[in-house]
Structure 1
Amino acid sequence: MVNVRGVRDLLSAVAAYSDWHFAIGVRIRFANPMLLYQTYPSDWVNLYAEKALIFVDPTVRWGLEHPGICRWSDLQDTDEAGVMEKAAEYGLRYGIVVSVGEASARTLGFFCRDDRELNDEEAQFALAHVQSLHDMTEGLAKASEPQLAELRNLGAVLPR
C-alpha cells in the first residue's frame, strides 16, 4: 500500500526546497504516468498538451531512454521541435531531467528555473527525491481507486 502522507510530505519538501518549477511523472508506462505532479504555469501545461509536445520533447525522450540526470542545455541540439525554446517563454529556461527506475515503469522528474542553471546540490536533491518517490510508489498498480484518487489529488495543493 502506498503511503499517501509520505508522498504528500515528499512533494511538499520538493516544492519548498528551491525557487523552481517541476513536473514529476511517476511510473510511466506507454508514455502515460500513473501519477503526475507539476508546478508549471498552467498556460504552459495547456500548450504542451494541446500541441502534444510530449511526443517531440527531447527531455522526455532522454529520460525514457536513460537513467540519471541530464541538463536541458545538453539536449539543445536534439530539440528539433523547439520545445525548450517554447518552455523558456513560460519561465522554464534552465532545467534538468531526472530519470529513475526500470525502463518499463520509469519515474521522471523535470526541474527548472528562469534565472540560472540548477547547481549540483539541487540536482542531487532532485535525484534523491525522485528516487524516493519512485520507491514509495512500488505496488502502485495494485492501489485501489480511492487511494489512486487521493494520490492524484495531491497535485492540486502544490504551488503554481
Structure 2
Amino acid sequence: MGSYIGKTPTELEMAGNEDEEDALGFKLTVLRDAMIHLRVQFLHFQSFYEKEGLENIGNDLKAMKIILMVVQNKIEELKSIIPEYLEIKNIGMVKQKIEDFDLVVTEIVLEMKEFERDNFLMEKVEKLINKLNPFDVPNLETLDQELSPNEMMKTIMSKSAKKQQDKMNKETIQNDVT
C-alpha cells in the first residue's frame, strides 16, 4: 500500500482502484477455492455413498451441504459487488459467469434436497458438479485480455436464450434417465 504522504489525488485514486481490483481478485480466488473444495467433497461423498449406502454418510452429507452453502454465499457476495466494478474491461463476462455458476449451484442444492426424499440421482449431481469448473472462474489476468468472438457470444447471449438452452438440456437429461 505504501505511504499516502506527498501523493497527488490522481495517484491516490489509482492506488484505491488497485486495492479494489485486488479485493475483487481475492473474492474470485476464494470462490474458485470453494468450488475446488466442493468438487473434492463431492468425490469423497460419492465414494462413501457407493461403498456404505445410506447408513453411514450423514457427516459427509453435512459437509457437502456446508461447502455448497459457502459457494452460494461467495456467489451472492460477488453478485452484490460486481456492479461496483464498471471500469474493468470484461466485467460483463464476469457477471454472466457468476450468474451461470449461481444457476448450477441452485440446481445442485435442489438435487441434494431430493436426497432427503429418496429421489436422489448421483449421476445428475455428478453432471452438475462437472458443470462447475473452478477454472472457469475469471481472474484479474483474464479480465484485462481481449475476448475471443466465441467468448463474446457467450456473454452477449440473452437470459431468455440461456434459459431456453438450459431447458433443452434438462429435457435431454430427463429423456436419458427415462
- Taking structure 1 as the reference length, what is the TM-score of the superposition? 0.31
Structure with greater proportional strand content: 1
Structure of higher RCO (CA pairs closer than 8 Å, 6+ residues apart): 1
Structure with greater proportional helix content: 2
Larger Cα Rg: Structure 1 or Structure 2? 2
- Taking structure 2 as the reference length, what is the TM-score of the superposition? 0.29
